[in-house]
Chains A and B, each alone.
Chain A
Amino acid sequence: MIPELGHYALILALALGLIQSVAPVIGSIYRDAPLMRLANSTALMQFVFVAASFAALEICFITSDFSVAIVYENSHSLMPLVYRMSSVWGNHEGSMLLWVLILSLFGALVAMFGVNLPSTLKALVLAVQSWIACAFYVFILLTSNPFLRLTPAPFEGRDLNPILQDPGLAIHPPLLYLGYVGFSIAFSFAIAALIEGRIDAAWARWVRPWTLMAWMFLTLGIAMGSYWAYYTLGWGGFWFWDPVENASLMPWLAGTALLHSAVVMEKRNALKVWTILLAILTFSLSLIGTFLVRSGVLTSVHAFASDPTRGVFILCILVLFIGGALTLFAWRAPMLKQGGLFAPISREGALVFNNLFLTTACLTVFVGTLYPLALEALTGAKISVGAPFFNVTFGPLVLALLFAMPFGQLLAWKRGDLLGAAQRLMAAFGVGLVVIGLTYAVEGKQPVLAPFAVGLAFYIMVGAAVDLVERTGLFRMPLRIVAARAGGLPRSAWGTAVAHFGIALSMLGIIAAGSWGTERIVAVKPSQTISISGYTLTFDGLSQQAGPNYSAVVGRFTVREGGNVIGVMQPSKRSFSTRGMSTNEAALMERGFGQLYLSLGDTEANGSLAIRLYYKPLVLLIWIGAVIMMLGGALSLSDRRLRVGAPKPARAKTAMQPAE
């Protein structure tokens, strides 16, 4: 009964979505307020029905109802509750349901919190949001119904893929989808603005919080995924330039560009057309990501061709929305008036530079990800594009951008002073140079470029703070005044500094762990000792343990530093009998911001145990930096002008009255 209710709720959501796709548009044409307001109720109810549908699927998984096909295929009655709950989205059908759940959540949020939006704009935004939702409801109902039943119902499920039986599955996909799908709001706003043919600074002020929110979730989602891969895969890599990862990186790069160009539009009423285009492109990249992951095209072009229903359906959605949006853009964008002139050397100019580099970086990832697919489809030739390609193409772009970043923060609007900014950055340059020298002295000359990158990271960290130091009068004024001024600064200024500081921290972590990490790949016998970077590990032996739905072999290693025992590391290998698969659970031990990383391999013929041991200095900074970037976004989001949502409703009505 419950699966059928869930199925029915989804159909009802589609029905509401169809109403919401049409009614507000008609309302906006005839200035019919009740028709436009209808979208508020339907958006809320759509969310309620999709949530009900999602809850129904959750109940099926929690109660292990194996008469439902995807529960049978992806769950097991012995699995812990948290994994039964998260395995809802550990499969294609369920994860698409999560996708539309989040989409309808954002629609409902706009309906609830967009109180001071002009009514026609809000109606159109909700309509566009509903077009996207309907396309995906139909996709789920026709090609990926999560509620299909099996008769007779099997007694036991086939278990979730052991790799997914991890807290990471509970956190990572929802965060990632909140980011991906969150960009749909910026897209809907862009389409609504193009349909209306008017766009102004207020538009940017409404779009920015939504974009910022999506960006924060995506940042956290990507970082979380990277940490998950790091501790699961057993060799301590954290980014692989895998097409699936690239699919999430592209919207992030475009979204970051969008955040920055929206600032220019909000403050200076410039870059309107470009901002609209970025809003369209960012969500388009989210859609392309969904296509890449869901269609099977990544495994091989042939896999896609052999079972094309889902792939072709998503491809149609893709063509319809991206093609439609870009056509609308080409038609309407020339009508938007450009405003806000600025000199090339200015804050605006710096943000344009930022956008140029971020979009080029995004293009690099796009080309690198899709080129092999296109080449194989067109000529049959197979090539591989992997990490070494991206290191030489993507790397320099990002380094150039990072170097320029502190300058951007210090240039004035309209017309800036590059030399002046450089002088104000003297302290940052100084710190950077000293750090380069120190790094050479301490770590030696290998690898050659790493100390420069470390210096760059420190230069960015100090550079991020320069603006704040100057504006609060730190080091010049009494502390009391500094504190008062610090409190008076707009939160967005703090947000910028914190986020830029965060990216430098991530960079530092990536360089340190990559350049000065050490590894030992050895075979050990009980009571044998291995040493790495000042630590010694003694292998105490192996033991067997039983988990709820697996059995594990656990190795025990005593860790010493300078003769003193500082802890025990217990890496394990788990065997899951239902699927006949095993997973590798690495043991991690924090040493400051660095980590000791130990994972088990096979037992060798002579009875000794193969292990992989790493010391990764500062590796935690990679993810801490990402969290700090996210916090910078949160600070910026709490800025008064976004919170208050100026202009005031009364003024907004007069200011945004349609031109006719």
Chain B
Amino acid sequence: MRRLALIAVLFALLAPGAAFAVRPDEMLKDPALEARARHISEELRCLVCQNQSIDDSEAPLAHDLRVLVRQRITAGDTNAQVLKFIVARYGDFVLLKPPFQLDTLLLWSLPPFALAAGLVGLIVMARRRRAVPLQPDALSAEEQAKVATLVEAEPAGR
């Protein structure tokens, strides 16, 4: 993708002949089932597009997937079953929210880990800082004597 910044996303969309993502003829009659279908569609990636859900994509493959999702819903699958069915055919790549597993461990855990580490670090730093200025160690007898000599040696007013 060599073209311009933010709009790069637009290129993938406008294959010749702008069409629709969800088409009227593929929608389910029952609004509740259709709402579920839309919800599931937002979780699934259009495999031939760049980072688009099948709900947003107008690629023919996305259309096929939307129809498949609706078939499964009509057949009585739960949302989880539909997703499982699609993943079994197309792999994890189809999920826009990757599953939590070994190769996505860092992806999921890094942000919360960073937040926790940051918080702990800040608390430790705050403790250490407070400890230093508020409770200076009492001067040893040797240091006291040194201070005394210095004070005497220094003429007043300088």
Stretch at the interface among A23-31, A110-118, A363-371, A498-506: A363-371
Stretch at the interface among A381-389, A588-596, A642-650: A381-389
**Interface residues as binary, B105-139 with A (CB distance below 8 Å gives 1, 0 otherwise):** 01110110011001100110010011001000000
Asked whether B96 lies within 8 Å of A384 as measured between CB atoms, the reply is yes
* Interface residue B33 (Cβ < 8 Å from any Cβ of A): no
Instruction: Find residues 80-107 in chain A having any chain B CB closer than 8 Å to their own CB.
Output: 89-92, 95
Contacts of A397 in B (CB 8 A): 111, 115
Asked whether A90 lies within 8 Å of B6 as measured between CB atoms, the reply is no
| Distance of A172 Cα from B9 Cα, bound (Å) | 14
**Range of interface residues on B (Cβ < 8 Å):** 35 or more
Given the known A-B contacts A164-B4, A173-B5, A385-B98, are A356 and B17 also in contact in the complex, defined by CB atoms under 8 Å?
A: no
- Complex partner residue of B9 from A242, A381, A522, CB under 8 angstroms: A242
| Distance of A173 Cα from B122 Cα, bound (Å) | 38
Asked whether B114 lies within 8 Å of A360 as measured between CB atoms, the reply is yes
Asked whether A367 lies within 8 Å of B106 as measured between CB atoms, the reply is yes
| Distance of A373 Cα from B42 Cα, bound (Å) | 22
Asked whether A164 lies within 8 Å of B111 as measured between CB atoms, the reply is no
| Distance of A241 Cα from B42 Cα, bound (Å) | 13
- Complex partner residue of A240 from B45, B51, B123, CB under 8 angstroms: B51
Given the known A-B contacts A164-B7, A229-B9, A601-B20, are A383 and B50 also in contact in the complex, defined by CB atoms under 8 Å?
A: no
* Interface residue B143 (Cβ < 8 Å from any Cβ of A): no
Asked whether B3 lies within 8 Å of A364 as measured between CB atoms, the reply is no
* Interface residue B67 (Cβ < 8 Å from any Cβ of A): no
* Interface residue A580 (Cβ < 8 Å from any Cβ of B): yes
| Residue ID in chain B nearest A241 by CB atoms | B51
Contacts of A91 in B (CB 8 A): 2-4
**Interface residues as binary, B1-32 with A (CB distance below 8 Å gives 1, 0 otherwise):** 11111111111011011111111110100000
Contacts of B8 in A (CB 8 A): 242, 244, 293, 298
Stretch at the interface among B71-79, B87-95, B149-157: B87-95
B132 to chain A, nearest CB (A): 9
Given the known A-B contacts A360-B111, A397-B111, A521-B27, are A341 and B5 also in contact in the complex, defined by CB atoms under 8 Å?
A: no
Stretch at the interface among A35-43, A231-239, A258-266, A430-438: A231-239
Asked whether A173 lies within 8 Å of B4 as measured between CB atoms, the reply is yes
* Interface residue B103 (Cβ < 8 Å from any Cβ of A): yes
| Residue ID in chain A nearest B13 by CB atoms | A233
| Residue ID in chain A nearest B98 by CB atoms | A383
Contacts of B45 in A (CB 8 A): 384, 386
Asked whether B111 lies within 8 Å of A393 as measured between CB atoms, the reply is yes
| Distance of A601 Cα from B63 Cα, bound (Å) | 14
Asked whether A169 lies within 8 Å of B118 as measured between CB atoms, the reply is no
* Interface residue B158 (Cβ < 8 Å from any Cβ of A): no
**Range of interface residues on A (Cβ < 8 Å):** 35 or more
* Interface residue A495 (Cβ < 8 Å from any Cβ of B): no
Contacts of A240 in B (CB 8 A): 9, 51-52, 56
Contacts of B106 in A (CB 8 A): 367, 371
Asked whether A521 lies within 8 Å of B23 as measured between CB atoms, the reply is yes
Contacts of B130 in A (CB 8 A): 343
| Distance of A243 Cα from B1 Cα, bound (Å) | 11
* Interface residue B104 (Cβ < 8 Å from any Cβ of A): yes
Which one of A233, A237, A244, A375 has the highest number of Cβ atoms from chain B below 10 Å of its Cβ?
A244
Asked whether A384 lies within 8 Å of B16 as measured between CB atoms, the reply is no
A202 to chain B, nearest CB (A): 24
B58 to chain A, nearest CB (A): 9
| Distance of A318 Cα from B13 Cα, bound (Å) | 30
Contacts of A1 in B (CB 8 A): none
Asked whether B111 lies within 8 Å of A244 as measured between CB atoms, the reply is no
| Distance of A573 Cα from B58 Cα, bound (Å) | 15
| Distance of A601 Cα from B108 Cα, bound (Å) | 38
| Residue ID in chain A nearest B17 by CB atoms | A582
Contacts of B111 in A (CB 8 A): 360, 363-364, 367, 393, 397
A81 to chain B, nearest CB (A): 19
Instruction: Find residues 497-533 in chain A having any chain B CB closer than 8 Å to their own CB.
Output: 521-523
Given the known A-B contacts A245-B9, A367-B106, A383-B93, are A360 and B115 also in contact in the complex, defined by CB atoms under 8 Å?
A: yes
| Distance of A584 Cα from B45 Cα, bound (Å) | 23
| Distance of A383 Cα from B13 Cα, bound (Å) | 21
Asked whether A248 lies within 8 Å of B19 as measured between CB atoms, the reply is no
Asked whether A89 lies within 8 Å of B4 as measured between CB atoms, the reply is yes
Contacts of A580 in B (CB 8 A): 16
Instruction: Find residues 292-340 in chain A having any chain B CB closer than 8 Å to their own CB.
Output: 293-294, 296, 298-299, 303, 310
- Complex partner residue of B11 from A92, A161, A356, CB under 8 angstroms: A161
Contacts of A248 in B (CB 8 A): 5-6
* Interface residue A660 (Cβ < 8 Å from any Cβ of B): no
B77 to chain A, nearest CB (A): 19
| Distance of A523 Cα from B95 Cα, bound (Å) | 30
Asked whether A388 lies within 8 Å of B25 as measured between CB atoms, the reply is no
Given the known A-B contacts A233-B13, A243-B51, are A387 and B96 also in contact in the complex, defined by CB atoms under 8 Å?
A: yes
| Distance of A344 Cα from B128 Cα, bound (Å) | 12
A114 to chain B, nearest CB (A): 29
* Interface residue A448 (Cβ < 8 Å from any Cβ of B): no
- Complex partner residue of B50 from A162, A242, A310, A344, CB under 8 angstroms: A242
- Complex partner residue of B96 from A225, A237, A389, A393, CB under 8 angstroms: A389
Asked whether A341 lies within 8 Å of B27 as measured between CB atoms, the reply is no
Asked whether B4 lies within 8 Å of A352 as measured between CB atoms, the reply is no
| Distance of A27 Cα from B22 Cα, bound (Å) | 65
| Distance of A374 Cα from B116 Cα, bound (Å) | 24
- Complex partner residue of A294 from B2, B7, B16, B20, CB under 8 angstroms: B2
Contacts of B51 in A (CB 8 A): 240-243, 384, 386
* Interface residue A550 (Cβ < 8 Å from any Cβ of B): no
Given the known A-B contacts A385-B107, A387-B42, A610-B23, are A229 and B93 also in contact in the complex, defined by CB atoms under 8 Å?
A: no
Contacts of B19 in A (CB 8 A): 601-602
Contacts of B122 in A (CB 8 A): 344, 352, 356
| Distance of A356 Cα from B111 Cα, bound (Å) | 11
Contacts of A234 in B (CB 8 A): 18, 20
Given the known A-B contacts A164-B7, A169-B7, A235-B56, are A392 and B97 also in contact in the complex, defined by CB atoms under 8 Å?
A: yes
Contacts of A247 in B (CB 8 A): 5
| Distance of A166 Cα from B126 Cα, bound (Å) | 53
Those 3 A-B pairs whose CB atoms lie nearest each other, nearest first: A386-B96, A388-B97, A601-B20
- B interface residues with partner A (beta carbon < 8 Å): 1-11, 13-14, 16-25, 27, 42-43, 45, 50-53, 56, 91-98, 103-104, 106-108, 110-111, 114-115, 118-119, 122-123, 126, 129-130, 133
17 contacts between A and B (CB under 8 A): A163-B7, A163-B11, A222-B6, A225-B6, A228-B7, A235-B56, A237-B56, A242-B8, A343-B126, A344-B126, A357-B115, A383-B93, A384-B96, A385-B98, A388-B42, A582-B18, A604-B25
Q: A95-B5, A357-B115, A367-B111 are in contact. List 10 more A-B contacts (CB 8 A).
A: A89-B4, A229-B10, A293-B1, A298-B1, A356-B115, A360-B111, A363-B114, A388-B96, A582-B16, A582-B18
